[in-house]
Amino acid sequence: MAAKRKRAAHLKPVPAESKGPSTTKKGRKKALAGLTPADDSASVEFVTDALVDLGYVNEERAERAVGEARNAGCPPEELLLEERVIDSDQLSRAVALRYGLDHVDLGEFHVDMAAANLIPVASARRHLALPIAYVSPQTLLVAMSDPANVVAVDDIQMASGLDCRVAVSAGEDIEALIGRLNTLQSAVSEAAHDDETDEDEGIGDLSELRASAEDAPVIKLVYSILGQAVNEGASDVHFEPDEGDMRVRFRVDGVLYEAARVPKRMATAVVSRVKIMSALDIAEKRLPQDGRVSVTVEDRAVDLRVTTLPTQRGEGAAIRLLDKDTAMRTLDELGLDGDPRKRFEGSFGKAYGAVLVTGPTGAGKSTTLYAALEVLNSVEKNIITIEDPVEYRLEGIN
């Protein structure tokens, strides 16, 4: 039996205990959805062999494609794809089998957007490769359509300063994910082009401030930012004034990452637009303000909790996104089971006492407590909560 060739480090399958960007039980379940582990028992030399083994084409059709490919000067699997004998998902699964790698269905996999934003969009599009999760604090899981592209791996490792492990995904799925990353920056560029405010003149009196906030480019930009945040599952959006452009950051899975830069000349108008939406005083810039508004973003009902804060570089804003369509979870959906589940249910089921829930921003403290309230909520009970502000409104609870 011939000895197996030694693999490059980036072509080794991800260890089962390391897969996924999250260390929580709930996070692991989400992350593993869409990931098919490598088949260590398979041994094929060509992608066409893998297509036959997987049952996507018969042996006769594969051999005919090999002959046609010699005349066409391209890989036989490309001919099969062009002729629609196979689709891109089937091709990617065959490539994964050929190289003995994991396969990732990006339509189901929980992509870590903080990891995805580590490399420039242009580089991701050039190589059709993108980080989608952290295997460990020092290693990225990278989705690629061509795992043999060592130049792409080198570029990603240089740009991120991290090691890479490769998984195979369909090229069109990677392109769609890259398109999501580029949407927000394109919206910023378009808004900046459409906005005619002179940076040197600035914004003068209150009427000009309100008028600038009501400009179509500013309104479109703010809703583009909120739409992108909702699509990426962000819990918070931060508008942070800087010496130059305003920085916009999203918090996803508890981690902040930079999503876009707003031109300095539009920064005041953007914050004013956020204040108008939440019924805050746009003339007051010296004191912090809190507000709340319900909006529809990407056909989803979302509550926004808005806080503005004056800084040395200008006024900033932070928005907590409360997605009504996904916020309410049951205890079964929280991944809490076994003895911890029994202790938790036993504690909030008592007639007296206190339950302390702690954790960082976005960890699920409120979600956990609201799930407990849903268990307690019945017509026989009078339940009162003390919150500032109230995050979600539940029927039957005061």
Residue 235 has pLDDT above 90, yes or no: no
| Cβ within 8 Å of residue 107, ≥6 positions away | 34, 173
Q: Sort 299 into a burial class: Cβ within 10 Å, 0-12 / 13-18 / 19+.
A: exposed
Query: What is the widest separation between alpha-carbon atoms in the chain?
Result: 83
Bridge-based pairing state of the strands 314-323 and 35-36:
unpaired
Q: What is the pLDDT of residue 125?
A: 87
Q: What is the mean pLDDT of residues 190-203?
A: 56
Q: For helices 264-277 and 216-231, give the axis angle rounded to 10 degrees.
A: 70
Q: What is the pLDDT of residue 9?
A: 56
Lowest mean per-residue pLDDT among 118-127, 257-266, 380-389: 380-389
Q: What is the pLDDT of residue 213?
A: 57
Nearest to 282 by CA among 226, 201, 205: 205
Please confirm whether the linkage preceding 137 is cis (ω < 30° from 0): no
Nearest to 168 by CA among 271, 264, 295, 54: 54
**Helix intervals (H) in the chain:** 25-32, 47-53, 59-72, 76-82, 88-99, 113-116, 121-127, 150-160, 171-194, 206-213, 216-231, 264-277, 338-348, 365-376
Residue 248 has pLDDT above 80, yes or no: yes
Alpha-carbon distances, residue 159 vs 121, 134, 154, 155, 164 (angstroms):
12, 15, 9, 6, 11
Q: What is the mean pLDDT of residues 5-19?
A: 54
Q: What is the mean pLDDT of residues 154-160?
A: 90
Residue 199 has pLDDT above 60, yes or no: no
Q: Which residue has the higher pLDDT, 369 or 27?
A: 369
Fold adopted by 195-323:
Beta-Lactamase (3.30.450)
User: Would you kindly state where each structural domain of the chain is located, as residue ranges?
Assistant: 9-170, 195-323, 328-398
Nearest to 113 by CA among 230, 221, 253, 14: 253
Q: What is the mean pLDDT of residues 171-190?
A: 79
- Which residue reads 């396969």 in tokens? 103
pLDDT digits (tens, 9 = 90+) for 85-112: 999 999 999 999 999 999 999 988 888 8
pLDDT digits (tens, 9 = 90+) for 306-326: 999 998 888 999 999 887 666
Q: What is the pLDDT of residue 146?
A: 92
Q: How confident is the model at residue 194 (pLDDT cuts 50, 70, 90)?
A: low
Q: What is the pLDDT of residue 94?
A: 93
